[in-house]
Structure 1
Amino acid sequence: MEKEDFYTIYIPALEKAFQNDSINLGFYVKSPEDYLDDEAISQVDQYLKQYEDQFLERTACYFDAKSHGFPSIQGVDIDLYKSKLMDEMNVLKKEYSRSKMIISQLLILDWYDDIITSIISFENGEFYLLNCIQKHSIIEDKTYYCVKIDAATFKQIENITEKKNFTAGDWDMINLIFEKNNKNDHIFLLKIKSLLVGTDVVLDKAKNLDIIHIKFPFDISTLYMG
């Protein structure tokens, strides 16, 4: 299990454990693992066998101390210790968060045996410029590079899609929009077989190493893999 997958499962359970840590069941305060189902516990156990994680060790210390009614942990007031853990949790939550959304509008800018470049809007009111950067010819999965844009920019590109043919100036404008918004907090990756309105998708937040530069119209010669 990858670290991102682990924290996607673990953090919601940890949040519940923090919310209920005032309930002591006779020298036992429920830990995050108590809020996971059997399958998730198995995945968490697998992760813990593979990796050492100091945040998890500190979390375990906190719930053990809370269970026994200790006022402090290694000289730090237990409430302050919890506050610091929650700050760390929120950082991890932001870093490994996944957004699950439903596509409400899909407009195609470029096509080559499937959607290459497009803009989409979600039911939650967010807008993205997408470009397919990898296509697996065997399993047919595609990876889309998703750049978050605002509503006005979406409308600006939408007006272009009404044309039968894009001009060089249209593509120049799309390139400018892409470069303006191609920054870490705006970038997500989407792995999917097909883009369809009504599809419930998960956007994975990109890391610094995932950020790439794309020139439109996209050169599809780099797209396909075995």
Structure 2
Amino acid sequence: MQITKFLSILLFASFILVGCSDDDENTIIPDGQSANTQPLGTSANDLLSDTNFRGLTVEIVSVQGFAPTTTAVNMFRTFLEERLFKPDGITINQRTVSSSGLSPFNIDKIKEIETTARTAFNEGDEITVYIYFADGTNDNDDGSRVTLGTAYLNTSIVIYESTLRNLSSNPSAPMLSTIEAATLNHEFAHLLGLVNIGTPLQSQHENTVSRGHCNVQNCLMEAAIEFESGMMNMMGDGVPELDAQCIADLQANGGR
């Protein structure tokens, strides 16, 4: 691929489809934790609305040396506050853990790590989300297409931080914080049921080829198969935002 000033946009575009694989395969469910180990999208209304849960706790667990930037976490918090009804507030707790030594990762390995790394689960009127910042790559990466993150259960996300840092190291790439925030927002939006994976469509805007993604150009939830597939301006103004149709879906399912 020719390296140009658009390389950063092309690299980011890969995450929207090939960098975002949603996986809700069955896993071993410890006693008392079944509410947080359900299929992707099943907690969309609980995350969006205050009907059952008035507060949200996000547990960010990072391998030592691979924590997200403060700027990215702040942008992520703003995204949540703009879309969720949580009158008791949104809490983001961060801590680090030792490397698992399991890289490259598949979802089974990521789920295995979660069984020991996750400490926060739904309790009372507080819903929790677990986000793991990994120190390795996805085992499906092939050099031309990479996975940046995956929403794989109803309240679980993995971010391949080492991949994000590798992309941001290119002189033409966006800042690391921008890539991190875009990946966090995109994957969390899958937990919120976008697109058509737990939050019903209010209009037809789901990509018919890449299910679970939006067909509106430059939307945060848009998908692209290859770097060259046509989202040249996506990162021109920073982190992409949800388009009006995605927002309408969230609002109809209890969100802002």
TM (norm. structure 2) is 0.23
Larger Rg: 1
The structure with the greater share of residues assigned to helix is: 1
Considering Cα pairs closer than 8 Å and 6+ residues apart, tell me whether 1 or 2 has the greater RCO. 2
The structure with the greater share of residues assigned to strand is: 1
